[in-house]
Amino acid sequence: MVVNITRDGDIAVVTVDNPPVNALGQALRQGLWDAVATLDAAADVRAVVLICAGRTFIAGADVTEFGKPPVPPHLPDLVDRIEGAAKPWVAAIHGSALGGGLEVAMGCRFRVALETAALGLPEVGLGIVPGASGTVRTPRLVGAAAAVELVTTGRPVKAERARAMGLVDAVVTGDLRTAAVAFARTALEAPLPLPVSARPVTAPDAAWWEDQHAAIAARAKGELAPLRALDCLRVAAERPFAEALAHERATFLALRGSDQAAALRHIFFAERAAPRPSHVTAAPRPLRSAAVIGGGVRGAGLASALRSAGLSVVLVADDDAAVLRGPQTGGPSTKAMAERIGDADLVIVAAEGALAMPAVLGRLGGMCRADAVLAVPTGAGDPHRTAEPVPTPARVLGLNLFGPTAGVALLEIVPTAATAPETLATGFALARALGRILVQTGLGGGSIGHRLLRRTRAAAEDLIRQGLAPATVDAAMRAYGFALGPFEAWDGGDPVNVAAMPGQGTPGRADLSDADIAARLTAAMAEEGRALLDEGVALRSSDIDLVAVHGHGYPRWRGGPMFEAGRQVP
Ligand code: 3HC
């Protein structure tokens, strides 16, 4: 049963149990719909606590239903029904109350949250707007400004901030069910507050909305949902409740069927599929300590992320790591290095270039514990060869880090032919501990990230040879939604030495629109993606899209090169 009703004296407790995240699929909507009728009819029930089993409160509508026609009871009707129940409902929130989950909670007369809980309306991240009164009830509860922040950014807030905003009535600790039942009893002693739909909202003036519009348009760069969400919020502040609700629903349904929403759903599921491939069944090795070798700012960023994940971490700066290149005079000795890293469960070489060469790794392998997992970058070459000189190559794994200089947004795991199953499983455990996006390449060797980059670079340089300026190509790709143009991304903003490019052609010859330029470069990425799949380097086409989005700034709302190529009519 996805909905169970129990009693605590005159308070009924409705428990939702729909693993993994209590998403509001049809069975759950029906279960809650029926629970309202059952409890309205129970004469001795004075109030109802709505609580969830498992790791979280209701985490939203069931995203897997989005490609299909909506089946009743519809979520907006369910929220109205809970709000209109004869007995006041109290939402008891732990984990995350997201999207439709928060909308159900706003249909309740009260909201109580554990201090560790988070609440939010992440719909814009899925290319839609809240579709069950989120844009209409939220401003009535927290005011227009806070509602704009919550709905247009999609970022959840922690319980205490939610209380300060007015989104929840109380933050509690200890046993949530006990606290919520006690809250309900106390609340019954005073007159009930108005249902959220009946509360007034102060409408900001037109200039305020225009400012919001300009700020969000600048951020959204072609992404539709944030501006449509703002539009819904404005209607909600300026028009009657029912009219705003109808406007929100129409916007929600239109966006749900849009290309952008399909692209964002594709990335949502790709991100969740990547860290748990079915072929990785071995148990990972324990991960308590790590040593990060070099890597400058990025190495330091990785070390700090590992610390936040609870590991004890030694960071060896590039200068100190130089000892790995061979006998040196001055500087720390091999013995001192071995003492620093000799205990780590995991040694990650974050430095690229000379420090990632086979001989260096052979020396490193001799310094760390015989069973330590050794993660090496593959940028310097074939990880199979790189691993050869390492004693027990079964514990070596290729690991590429992508993302902004100071952070790691994406990990790419490259097993070698010798990598043991538990070494691979440890790589996956590492990515999960870091909360980073992860993809695995096949045993064919090579890196999805590097191959995509090389191919895009070649295609971009081709355009320069045809006479386009690097700045033109960069601007076209930014207009397409990329975080940075290709030349900005590769050269950190330094001017590109066009004259030095082989085969530099006649400037001014090419006459390509921004859209043509973007089409050329994204098609080149997709072509390389197909080659990666054919060669077995990439295991899934969605992994290529993840690398493009998280490693190379491909606009998330376009779904990545493979997704876009797949949608084009042949
Ligand atoms: N619908 C269907 N499945 C969902 C889901 C959802 N809303 N949210 C998560 N799942 C699934 C995941 O696909 C995954 O499935 P798998 O185990 O088969 O791979 C499983 O639940 C666990 O998800 P995570 O790995 O993400 O679990 P975490 O514990 O790391 O995170 C979470 C939990 C914070 C709830 C996270 O899953 C999350 O952010 N989910 C999305 C929430 C969301 O976007 N909600 C809004 C939906 S749109 C909406 O509500 C529209 C409404 O306004 C009408």
Task: For residue 442, report the distance from its CA to the centre of ligand 1, in Å.
Answer: 28
Please identify every residue annotated as catalytic. Answer: 103, 123
Q: Is the CB of 195 under 6 A from ligand 1?
A: no
Question: Is ligand 1 within 6 A of the CB of residue 79?
Answer: no
CB 272 less than 6 A from any atom of ligand 1: yes
Helix/strand/coil for 485: coil
Measured in Å, residue 75 CA sits from the centre of ligand 1 at 17
Helical residues (DSSP H) of 342-447, grouped into ranges: 358-367, 383-387, 421-434
> How far, in Å, is the centroid of ligand 1 from the Cα of 268?
9
**What pLDDT is stored for residue 491 in this prediction?**
60
* Strands, sheet with 346-349, edge to edge from the N-terminal-most edge strand: 312-316, 289-293, 346-349, 373-376, 396-402, 410-415, 437-440
Query: From atom 17 of ligand 1, which residue's Cα is the shortest distance away?
Result: 20
CA of 556 to the centre of ligand 1 (A): 17
Residues 507, 464 contacting (CB under 8 angstroms): no
Please report, for residues 128, 170, 254, 544, 556, the alpha-carbon distance to residue 260 in angstroms, rounded to integers and kept in the order given. Answer: 9, 37, 11, 18, 9
Count of residues in the chain: 570
- pTM score, two decimals? 0.88
Per-residue three-class SS string for 496-524: CCHHHCCCCCCCCCCCCCHHHHHHHHHHH
123 C-beta closer than 6 A to ligand 1? yes
Residue type present at position 224: L
Look at ligand 1, atom 36, and give the residue with the nearest C-alpha. Answer: 59
**Residue 21, ligand 1, Cβ within 6 A:** yes
Distance in angstroms (rounded) separating the CA atoms of residues 406 and 402:
10
Instruction: Give the atom of ligand 1 at the shortest distance from the alpha carbon of 61.
Output: 50
Rounded to 5°, the CA angle 23-28-32 comes to: 125
Token digits of residue 5: 């009703």
| Per-residue model confidence (pLDDT) at position 322 | 78
134 lines ligand 1 (CB under 6 A): yes
Amino acid making up residue 340:
R
Cβ–ligand 1 contact at 426 (below 6 Å): no
Check pocket membership of 100 for ligand 1, CB cut-off 6 A.
yes
Ligand 1: residue of 272, 276, 432, 436 to mutate (most ligand atoms within 8 A of CB) is 272
The reported pLDDT for the residue numbered 505 is 46
Residue 191 Cα to ligand 1 midpoint, Å, equals 37
Alpha-carbon distance values, 76 to 104, 228, 247 (Å): 9, 18, 12
Q: Would you call 294 helix, strand, or coil by DSSP?
A: coil
User: What does the alpha-carbon distance between residue 96 and residue 142 come to, in Å, rounded to a whole number?
Assistant: 18
| Residue in 16, 21, 268 to alter for ligand 1 test, most ligand atoms within 8 A of Cβ | 21
Tokens linked to 296 = 């400058």
CA of 53 to the centre of ligand 1 (A): 15
Q: How far is the CA of 21 from the centre of ligand 1 (A)?
A: 6
Distance CA 105, CA 109 (A): 8
288: amino acid identity, one letter = R
- Across the beta sheet with 96-98, what order do the strands follow? 96-98, 118-120, 157-158
Q: Is 383 in the pocket of ligand 1 (CB under 6 A)?
A: no
C-alpha span between 526 and 271 (Å, rounded): 19
Q: Judging by DSSP bridges, how do beta strands 373-376 and 118-120 pair with one another?
A: unpaired
Cβ(379)–Cβ(352) below 8 Å: yes
Q: One digit per residue, pLDDT tens: the chain, 570 residues?
A: 999 999 999 999 999 999 999 999 999 999 999 999 999 999 999 999 999 999 999 999 998 888 788 899 999 999 999 999 999 999 999 999 999 999 999 999 999 999 999 999 999 999 999 999 999 999 999 999 999 999 999 999 999 999 999 999 999 999 999 999 999 999 999 999 999 999 999 999 999 999 999 999 999 888 999 999 999 999 999 999 999 999 999 999 999 999 999 999 999 999 988 888 888 899 999 999 999 998 888 888 889 989 999 999 999 988 888 777 776 555 567 788 888 899 999 999 888 766 656 677 778 888 889 889 999 887 545 656 666 667 788 998 888 887 665 667 888 898 888 899 999 999 999 988 888 888 988 775 678 988 999 999 999 999 999 999 999 999 999 999 998 899 987 765 444 455 555 544 455 566 899 999 999 999 999 999 999 999 988 989 999 999 999 988 999 999 999 999 998 754
pLDDT, residue 277, reads 82
Tally of CB atoms within 10 A around 461: 20
DSSP 67-104: TS---SSPHHHHHHHHHT-SS-EEEEE-SEEETHHHHH
Cβ 56 under 6 angstroms from ligand 1:
yes
**Residue of minimum CA distance from atom 39 in ligand 1:** 59
Q: What pLDDT is stored for residue 493 in this prediction?
A: 44
Q: On the CB side of 371, how many CA atoms lie within 13 Å of its CA?
A: 7
The predicted structure's pLDDT at residue 373: 94
Dist. CA 111–CA 183, nearest whole Å: 10
